[in-house]
Structure 1
Amino acid sequence: MTTTERIHARLITRDLDAEAALPEPVRRDVPRNSLRLIGANALQSSGDQTVSASTVLPWLFHAIGVPAALTGALVPIRESGSMLPQAFLTPFVVRVRRRKLVNVAGALVQAAAVAVMAITAAVGSGVVAGLVILAALAVFSLGRCLTSIASKDVQARVVPKGERGQINGLATTASGLVAITLGLAVRALGEGLDAQTLAAILGLGAALWVAVAGVWASIREPVTLRDGASAPPQGPDSDEADEGQSWFAETITLLREDATFRNFVTVRSFLLVSSLSPPFIVTMAVQAGAPALTGLGGFIIASGLAALLGGRVFGRMADRSSRRLMMLGAALASLVLVALVVVDTALDLAGDSLLTYAIFVGAYFLVTMLHTGVRVGRKTYVVDIADGDQRTTYVAVSNSAMGLVLLVVGAITSAIAGLGIVWALLFLAGLGVLGVLSSRRLPEVEGAA
């Protein structure tokens, strides 16, 4: 047994029956490719921590004097920009025989965009610097869009069912360590977190994405005509269909005619409970008197601990039943939000007390950890639910649909928050309950279910 195989055996619980169904060359490279997938995903997640639209970039905008109106555009550009173009770009991606090359290109685009942000942070200020960073963030999101489409496809080509969730979980765990380190650094720097320091953090992020590109390039991906097909496929992914049917019409057709996929997109929309609620918890903490900078460092540490503790456990759970993991995560996240609202109302939390801070950080930790489970379960489910180019189409169309849903739900939640943060949290908790109920219609896709 080689060193790679020994490390793989320690990290991954192997599904030998699923591996036996793979072609012999692919089966032989499973340990090597698995470790590289973990490395690529971990490096990418680490890079995300250095250019977070919820933490690092808002601090940077404050440090270089960017108006608050531009700060409000960071998260929408980052999230929707990486989702909305996916259905449009999918026909181009499925023509690439080696999908890992799409990931290499996407990683290099992200590296270049973050490098522009770092340079701007070091030498720029004011509105112009803010606009340049927003433009670079849009390009960054386009690069992420490419990797989002192709990365799950590469994973499904080189790793069997029963092992994919563990890979996602291990990568999440590794990114948690980075988040803890960054959070500790933020708390240590305190008010010394100036533009030059943040520019250095962004420069580190650019280097991480160059490393991501190198790891993706080293994966041994089987070369096939169309993800295992010996002839061009028929249906919406074929060249004739590309000429006769627009990507938008294809998206609508898929959502209308594929009941399983439509249910998955519906459930994923309700799962926003765990992704949209953390910023509101932070806002409640600030309103209650938590210190703006050092307090935020505590939330970053909580986020890292959640990923560190939840990644490995949720990865194994996803390989047993990704559907049940999504249901459990949504249900418990809703319960935490309701409990926080009840505690806040009953105790009338206020002031910069240790109890107040502990309650909010604890709630943030629990919701973030549950979001880790929801995210790992969702990513594993969409990889396991389909085969070949249909999988690529599922990933792209679901992400494009979610880009629109995110804008709509985000706008509704923000409007409700105008009436009070607790009402926004209760609205999101209600979405989570709907997600649990809707998940019952999804079929199990893991062999152990």
Structure 2
Amino acid sequence: MTHAPLTTEIYETLADTTSDGGLDSAASRTEAGNFLRHAASLSMTKTADGLIDPKLVLSWLLNHLGAGAFWVGLLVPVREAGSLLPQLFTAARIHALRRRKWAWSAGSAVQGLAALGIGTVALTLEGRGAGLAILGCLAVLALARSVCSVAYKDVLGKTVGKSRRGTATGLASSAASAGILIFAVVLMTGVASREVVVTGALFLAGVLWLVSALTFASLREAAGEASRDHRSVFAAFSVLKDPQLRRFIATRGLLTGTALAPPYIVLLAGQEDGGALGRLGALILASAGASLVSGYVWGRLSDRSSRLVLALSGLAAAVALAATLALDVAGMIQTAWTAPVVLFLLMLAYNGVRQGRSTHLVDMAQDDARADYTAVSNTVIGIVLLGSGLFGALASTFGPEWTLALFTAMSLCGATLALTLDEVQKG
């Protein structure tokens, strides 16, 4: 197939096209269009993720609907466990598909329907009933997300060359951040009631997931070999024989502190008095701004050396968290500018961790093992996140300072361990 000149021109402007990226001739001919479809699909899903963020948006919504702290406390565990832990059980079925883009498209469509369900609940229910219904929709969304996560890296590896994968996903992160930035500004300026803005964002997220499903379904993915592996579900753990995978999982586990730390920074800054509304605008703005300026850059750097991206982002997180502790000791963390700055720096590091780990895993795994590598890695990290949540809850009894000190140490250890990973972008 011959691509339209504009498609090819855009592709060659955005990506490093000096190598074939390890694709066969058929995949190379369709890569330009596939690259842009990946970027477009991910831009929409990442925007939807930000619009329906459980840590921020859904927490505010449940508080607004009077659901109570119990239901709010279940949001993040349901989302994280539902997204990561089931992947071990879905990997074999996804392996059995000759074209795995259909699994991703179906998962995106189900996420869209679940988001529309949450929006409907926001308009019709209150109290405990709203909490239960939203948790149910979120659980469905998380399960569908787990299917997308397993399928995506495999499809990406088949349709986009090794030196362009990080660029495609990084570009999507930056593009999505612009939309989330607008959402945050609208919330903070109050041009419309927050109830209207948040509910509208939920419905918009649902539509974006549905459109993304259609876009991804149009990918030119060559039919692969359909696996008929009838192994035990836990046989996938045999990939842990690879010492590099074990080291990668350990590195990723240590760097989870970049995702867990933001609420403790908010707590130190004393912004609870402003309620969830104050935290909502500040965290969304910091997250969107960091993604906007760093997503594409981290993606390009990951295509050069994903292990160095993990090391640099881990070090950056440690610096941001140490700065937070120093500002707290100096009594400056509650001033107007300090909390947004350290949150912004931490989110820069968090985006680097996400981009680096995704690119590293895709480039490290062989085509026939990529789904197992992804499923096992995410299952282990899902368990780690659940454990970290419990440990964080215990550590918080001693004060947020101690919890942030722990995350600082974890980030430093993760950065150090990342340097021992293989340079998978070479060879």
Q: What TM-score range do you get, normalising by the shorter chain? A: over 0.9
Instruction: Report the counterpart of residue 218 of structure 2 in structure 1.
Output: 218
2:236 is the alignment partner of 1:250? yes
- The one-letter code matched in structure 2 to 1:333 is A
Matched residues in 1 for 2:362 and 2:147: separation?
A: 16
1:382 aligns with 2:353: no
Establish whether residue 411 from structure 1 lines up as the match of residue 372 from structure 2. Answer: no
The amino acid that maps onto 1:254 is V
Q: Which residue of 2 aligns with 1:200?
A: 200
CA offset at residue 417 of structure 1? 1.4
Q: 1:360-381 deviations in whole A, cap 9, x for unaligned?
A: 1000000001111111010000
Residue 190 of structure 1: how far off its partner (Å): 8.1
SS in structure 2 of the partner of residue 73 of structure 1: helix
Q: In the alignment, which residue of structure 2 is the partner of 1:353? A: none
Aligned to 1:118: 119
CA shift in 2, pair 1:190/1:425, >3 Å:
farther
1:80 aligns with 2:81: yes
Give the aligned partner of residue 447 of structure 1. 426
2:136 matched to which residue of 1?
A: 135
Question: Gaps (5+ residues) in structure 1?
Answer: 227-231, 233-237, 351-355
1:235 corresponds to which residue?
none
Deviation at 1:57, TM superposition (A): 0.4
For residue 153 of structure 1, what is the aligned residue in structure 2?
A: 154
Q: Distance in 2 between matches of 1:52 and 1:296?
A: 10
Which residue identity does 2:201 align to in structure 1? I
Q: Which residue of 2 aligns with 1:359?
A: 338
Percent identity for Structure 1 against Structure 2: 34
Distance 1:288 1:201 in 2: 24
2:293 to 309, 313, 317: 309
Distance 2:261 2:45 in 1: 23
* Structure 1 match to 2:229: 239
Residue 5 of structure 2 is aligned to residue 2 of structure 1 = yes
Question: Per-residue CA shift, 1:278-329, capped at 9, x if unaligned?
Answer: 1211222235866752453133112111001001111111011000100110
Q: How many corresponding residue pairs?
A: 424
User: What is the deviation of 1:413?
Assistant: 1.7
Whether 2:108 is the aligned partner of 1:107: answer: yes
Distance 2:44 2:345 in 1: 24
Give 1:138 shift. Answer: 0.3
Check the 8 A contact 1:326/1:378 in 2, yes or no: yes
Contact 2:37–2:219 under 8 Å retained in 1: yes
Aligned 8 A contact 2:306 2:425 in 1: yes
Deviation at 1:239, TM superposition (A): 2.2
Give every structure 1 segment of 4 or more consecutive aligned residues whose post-TM-superposition deviation is greater than 4 Å.
287-292
TM-score of the superposed pair, with normalisation by structure 1: 0.91
Structure 2 Cα separation of the partners of residues 43 and 93 of structure 1? 23
Match of 1:402 among 355, 363, 381: 381
Output one character per residue of 1:87-129: Cα deviation in whole Å (capped at 9) or x when no partner: 1111111001110000111011101111111111101111011
- Amino acid in the other structure paired with 1:239: D
State the alpha-carbon separation in 1 of the partners of residues 328 and 178 from structure 2. Answer: 30
1:282 matched residue in structure 2? 266
Candidates 243, 250, 257, aligned match of 1:266: 250
Q: Which amino acid aligns with 1:278?
A: P
- Structure 1, residues 395-440: CA drift from partner, whole Å, max 9, x if none? 1110011110000012112211111111100000111111122223
1:369 corresponds to which of 348, 356, 372: 348
Report the equivalent of 2:413: 434
Residue in structure 2 matched with residue 13 of structure 1 by the alignment: 16
> Is 1:67 paired with 2:46?
no
- CA distances 1:11-68 after superposition (whole Å, capped 9, x unpaired): 11223242xx422221111110000000011100000111110111011111111111
Aligned partners of 1:436 and 1:186: how far apart in 2? Answer: 35
More off after superposition, 151-160 vs 184-193? 184-193
Can you list the C-alpha shifts for 1:316-347, whole angstroms capped at 9, x where unaligned?
11011000100110011011111110111122
- The answer on whether the counterparts of 1:107 and 1:144 sit within 8 Å (CA) in structure 2 is yes
| RMSD of aligned Cα (Å) | 1.7
Distance in 1 separating the partners of 2:188 and 2:130: 26
Whether the 8 Å CA contact 1:85–1:145 is kept in 2: the answer is yes
Which of 299, 302, 317 does residue 283 from structure 2 map onto?
299
Does residue 332 in structure 1 map to residue 316 in structure 2?
A: yes
Query: 2: CA distance between counterparts of 1:292 and 1:60?
Result: 9
Shift of the 288–133 alpha-carbon distance from structure 1 to 2, 3 Å rule, reads closer
Name the structure 1 match of 2:306.
322
TM-score (norm. length: structure 2)? 0.95
Would you say the 8 A contact 2:333–2:339 is kept in 1?
Answer: no
